[in-house]
Structure 1
Amino acid sequence: MASNRDEFFSRPSLPGHFWAGQCNLLGGLDQEQGGTWLAICRQGKIAAVTNYRDPSQAEGKLSRGHLVRDFVASNQSARSYLASLTPSQYSGYNLLLGDAQQLFYSSNRGPILEPLSAGIYGLSNHLLNTPWPKLRHGKADFERAIHQANFNVERLFDVMLDDEPAADSDLPNTGIGLPAERFLSSRFIAGGDAALQQNPELANHSNQHRLLNYGTRTTTIVLMDNNGGGRWFERNHTLNSINRTKTVAFSW
């Protein structure tokens, strides 16, 4: 799994670590709500969440990061965990959860439970495999990276650190306006001055300040074997700076 976490830089967070008191859970920590965006446990369970972009919908009462935290920290199977949820309590989400043997996809804007067969999938801020440009090209780059001889994790970092925006003609219309669609169209979202240089129209956007303080904060690569063991590689980014070298790694 190769993943980027896009979030406001002002939102307090901790990078990936084994949580105190829950030493089997490895993931970053959203210090604002106490959840996480991606986590695994030593027993092989894994979960990840993305927002579903729909500005017309009201905010949910519960944090989406709890979906990941609570599943990975529980003894429940993916099926029983999903059956226990009340999806309407959350803002729009996409959820991946399972283990090394079986992965499921769930969304409160789409399928409640979809077992995933072997293959390559992409997930952004719409339903699974929605062919947004960064997803379409990202899946192709990901497939090339994992099938090259002498596989190297650096190739997956290269896939996820691509900051090339999509052509305007390829952009989706999710109700946020063209400059914002353009800003969010690359796999790696650079906020701040870099975003303004790439997309000068942001200077006149009604949400200019918020957008320029938003971007990709964490890139994570997770490798798992059939027995639930594996490795976690993470790079954390700051506003106006892509981290291309400093990697934190864990194994279990």
Structure 2
Amino acid sequence: MCIAAMAWDAHPDWLMVVAANRDEYHVRPSAPLARWDDGSGILAGRDLQAGGTWLGVAEAGRMVLITNYRAPGYPQPDRASRGQLVVGLLAGQTPGELEIYNPFNVLIANPRNSSILTNYPDTTREPLPSGVHGLSNGAFACPWPKTRQLNTALAQWLAQESPGDGPQATATLFDALRDDSPPPADPLESDGPEPPYAPVFIRNPVYGTRCSTVITVTRDGHGLIAERRFDAEGNPTGETVLPFRWPTG
């Protein structure tokens, strides 16, 4: 997962809205979004190489997504799988030592609150206020230009859409996630992404956007998670849409 925007408690009708792209090597095997058959209540894709996931929801009332944090000297191949950390958090487990993982940022939400968890440069977990929050592969407090671009798209969507518009309401968010135009140059940006990875949608035959995911949860707990998948040329290869329900009260 390389970019995500989350609207948390920022709309009278929507409790949470997430729009995210997973960027990964195209040769890395993965399974599409599905309701897992292990009794966990998890709805997510699955990394078939390490067994974890990059983003998912649990019907017990949890959402977790992770992005890698680009830092000097990392990643180190002998470290534990960050995808397994996501699975544990979705299952409601308390994470252990986070220093065993390569650097990451994690967004966590449930029907009552949301937070940002990171292990770089130090392990911290902070609650998130109501609003639109963005995450990419750098420091949460210093969003990259493409992160601000996606945040703006999500904020504009919130101003126009409502639950009564049904599943088709997410079409605009998928369009925003498919934007492969570089964001405007920021003269104040001193530590941003390298040019090939600047767009929201990365079209690259080796390492690029593998899937886009949109999650919506209404105030009364009705949720929808939708995933669109892409091949190495950036062409759509499939879509999965799954309803779920979060407990309220």
Question: Considering the TM-score relative to the shorter chain, is it more than 0.5?
Answer: yes
2:41 touches 2:59 (CA, 8 Å); kept in 1?
yes
Q: Match for residue 208 of structure 1?
A: none
Residue of 177, 182, 200 corresponding to 1:165: 182
Residue of 196, 217, 220 corresponding to 1:183: 196
Q: Match for residue 107 of structure 2?
A: 96
Number of residue equivalences: 219
Deviations 1:53-79 (CA, angstroms, capped at 9, x unpaired): 1142351620111111011123x4xxx
Q: Classify 1:234/1:172 alpha carbon distance in 2 versus 1 (closer, same or farther; 3 Å).
A: farther
Map 1:112-191 onto structure 2 (within 5 A).
Answer: 112-149=124-161, 152-166=169-183, 172-173=190-191, 181-191=194-204
Q: Classify 1:147/1:52 alpha carbon distance in 2 versus 1 (closer, same or farther; 3 Å).
A: same
Structure with the largest fraction of strand: 2
Q: Match for residue 85 of structure 1?
A: 96
Q: Match for residue 221 of structure 1?
A: 214
TM-score, normalised relative to structure 2: 0.81
Q: Which runs of 4+ in 1 moved over 3 A?
A: 166-174, 226-229
Q: Match for residue 119 of structure 2?
A: 108
Q: Is there any run of 5+ residues in structure 2 with no aligned partner, and where?
A: 1-17, 245-249
Deviations 1:116-162 (CA, angstroms, capped at 9, x unpaired): 11100000001225231101122112111121156621011111111
Whether 2:104 is the aligned partner of 1:53: answer no
Structure with the largest fraction of helix: 1
Other structure's SS at 2:23 match:
strand
Root-mean-square deviation (CA, aligned residues, Å) is 2.1
Deviation at 1:87, TM superposition (A): 1.4
Deviation at 1:242, TM superposition (A): 3.5
TM-score, normalised relative to structure 1: 0.80
Q: Match for residue 240 of structure 2?
A: 248
Residue of 41, 50, 65 corresponding to 2:58: 41
Residue of 227, 231, 236 corresponding to 1:234: 227
1:50 touches 1:93 (CA, 8 Å); kept in 2?
yes
1:172 touches 1:181 (CA, 8 Å); kept in 2?
no
Q: Match for residue 90 of structure 2?
A: 72
Read off the aligned partner of 2:84 and give its amino acid letter.
H
Q: How many percent of aligned residue pairs carry the same amino acid?
A: 31
Larger radius of gyration: 1
Whether 2:85 is the aligned partner of 1:62: answer no
Tell me how far apart the structure 1 counterparts of residues 45 and 190 of structure 2 sit (CA, whole Å).
30
Tell me how far apart the structure 2 counterparts of residues 246 and 29 of structure 1 sit (CA, whole Å).
15
Q: Match for residue 42 of structure 2?
A: 25
Between 1 and 2, higher relative CO (CA 8 Å, sep ≥ 6) is seen in 2
Read off the aligned partner of 1:71 and give its amino acid letter.
L
Q: Match for residue 210 of structure 1?
A: none
Tell me how far apart the structure 2 counterparts of residues 23 and 111 of structure 1 sit (CA, whole Å).
27
